[in-house]
Amino acid sequence: MADRQIDTLLLSVGHDLPYLSGYTAMPLERLTMLVVPRDADATMVIPRLEAARVTPQPGVFDLLPWGETEDPTAIVGTLSAGARRIAVGDQMWARFLVELLPHLPDASFTRAVDVVGPLRMSKDDAEIAALAAAGAAVDTIAGELQRGEIPLVGRTEAEVSAHLGRRIIEEGHQRVNFAIVAAGENAASPHHHAGSRVIRENEIVLTDFGGTMDGYCSDTTRCVFTGEIPADVAEAYAVLHEAQAAGVAAATVGTPCQDVDRAARAIIADAGYGEYFIHRTGHGIGLEEHEDPYIVEGNTLPLEAGHAFSVEPGIYVPGSWGMRLEDIAVATADGPRALNNSNHELVSVDA
Ligand code: ZN
Ligand code: ZN
Ligand code: ZN
């Protein structure tokens, strides 16, 4: 905060608050806010009825419950009095900020990610172990898919998505974050919403799924083919597979994030599919499924040991098919470590 000339940090709903306090605020209209002044003790302003949910952390923050007839933004205003520059969490609701503005007429506002982002990006051993456990759980499900143990042909995308969601919970996650299932031409839309489309024989089925286990997220993408793989699809997939492996291999400590993107993208572009790779190569992952660092052209941030992120190039041919291959990787002093290890091939399934 001193480096960034930030006087006070205000964190509400979102992931910065649990990262610093261990408490996840309910995403409701009643204000919960951790007030962190640079030179004084931190205070968590919390609805009185929620106070019992907080595990007290003496010496970390004080708890200040507010009653139903009080104005919590006035309380935050008082605690922040004199602050000239205030950093707010990305996911704080606009409502809270709008209500705070009149209480802090002399303050300017900036994003808390400047302070909390670098802390959250550098995962410690326990965080990496949590990501690895979540990753191993979704790998188990990917294996079932690839062995034909999850029925596909004749079911709708939505039914397969629900199946994946159930398995995500059974494998130890507390929450399903997404279970994209996209068949055939639908796979050309990277974030396709699984719907009533029935999966047929002889088409690609893209699955991208993950959840949250003990606070940390999983996220993996595997494609299977319901029949014999045609030459054009096999050819494109071989390029994708090589590009994904090159992205992971490039993710060494000190390498700028954009160079990981370039390593994967160059292979796809050189093979003539460049126009069909329509998104960045990856995103950081941790408490949130998408967080810093982003693996994208323009991000010159050098990777540090402990940075965790996806490497997920794709090739999307509108109206025909799409494919993506995604692993979570961690930069370590010993080189890149992939946290997903299910089969990387495009497997032909009888399912
Ligand atoms: Zn995504
Ligand atoms: Zn994904
Ligand atoms: Zn992802």
- Quick one: average pLDDT of 137-158? 98
| Residue 153 pLDDT | 98
Give the C-alpha separation, 75 to 103, whole Å: 9
- Quick one: how far is CA 178 from the chain centroid? 11
- Quick one: average pLDDT of 321-345? 98
Range of the domain at 43: 8-120
| Residue 56 pLDDT | 87
For residue 219, the CA-to-ligand 2 centroid distance in Å is 5
For residue 4, the CA-to-ligand 2 centroid distance in Å is 33
For residue 63, the CA-to-ligand 1 centroid distance in Å is 36
Which of 63, 95, 120 terminates a domain? The answer is 120
Considering the domain architecture, whether residues 55 and 140 belong to the same structural domain is answered as: no
For residue 177, the CA-to-ligand 2 centroid distance in Å is 10
- pLDDT tens digits along 254-295: 999 999 999 999 999 999 999 999 999 999 999 999 999 999
pTM: 0.93
- pLDDT tens digits along 232-249: 999 999 999 999 999 999
Which of 57, 87, 120 terminates a domain? The answer is 120
For residue 283, the CA-to-ligand 3 centroid distance in Å is 6
For residue 287, the CA-to-ligand 1 centroid distance in Å is 15
Task: Give percent above pLDDT 70 in the chain.
Answer: 100
Number of domains in the chain: 2
| Domain-located, residue 3 | no
For residue 290, the CA-to-ligand 3 centroid distance in Å is 7
Q: If you average pLDDT over every residue of the chain, what do you get?
A: 96
pLDDT at 26 over 90: no
| Domain-located, residue 70 | yes
Exposed / middle / buried, residue 217 (Cβ in 10 Å: 0-12, 13-18, 19+): buried
157, 235, 144: which is closest to 189 by C-alpha? 157
For residue 348, the CA-to-ligand 1 centroid distance in Å is 25
CATH of the domain at 237: 3.90.230.10
pLDDT at 37 over 90: yes
- pLDDT tens digits along 63-79: 999 999 999 999 999 99
Which of 103, 120, 137 terminates a domain? The answer is 120
Exposed / middle / buried, residue 106 (Cβ in 10 Å: 0-12, 13-18, 19+): exposed
| Residue 316 pLDDT | 98
8 A C-beta contact, residue 48 and residue 72? no
For residue 134, the CA-to-ligand 3 centroid distance in Å is 14
- pLDDT tens digits along 196-215: 999 999 999 999 999 999 99
| Residue 27 pLDDT | 87
Considering the domain architecture, whether residues 312 and 169 belong to the same structural domain is answered as: yes
Ligand sitting nearest the alpha carbon of 221: 2
| Residue 308 pLDDT | 98
pLDDT at 105 over 90: yes
For residue 283, the CA-to-ligand 2 centroid distance in Å is 9
Considering the domain architecture, whether residues 249 and 153 belong to the same structural domain is answered as: yes
| Domain-located, residue 1 | no
CATH of the domain at 105: 3.40.350.10
Considering the domain architecture, whether residues 234 and 216 belong to the same structural domain is answered as: yes
Enter the tokens of residue 308.
């965790």
Considering the domain architecture, whether residues 327 and 250 belong to the same structural domain is answered as: yes
- pLDDT tens digits along 124-140: 999 999 999 999 999 99
Considering the domain architecture, whether residues 55 and 144 belong to the same structural domain is answered as: no
Considering the domain architecture, whether residues 129 and 239 belong to the same structural domain is answered as: yes
Handedness of CA 240, 221, 14, 27 (dihedral sign): positive
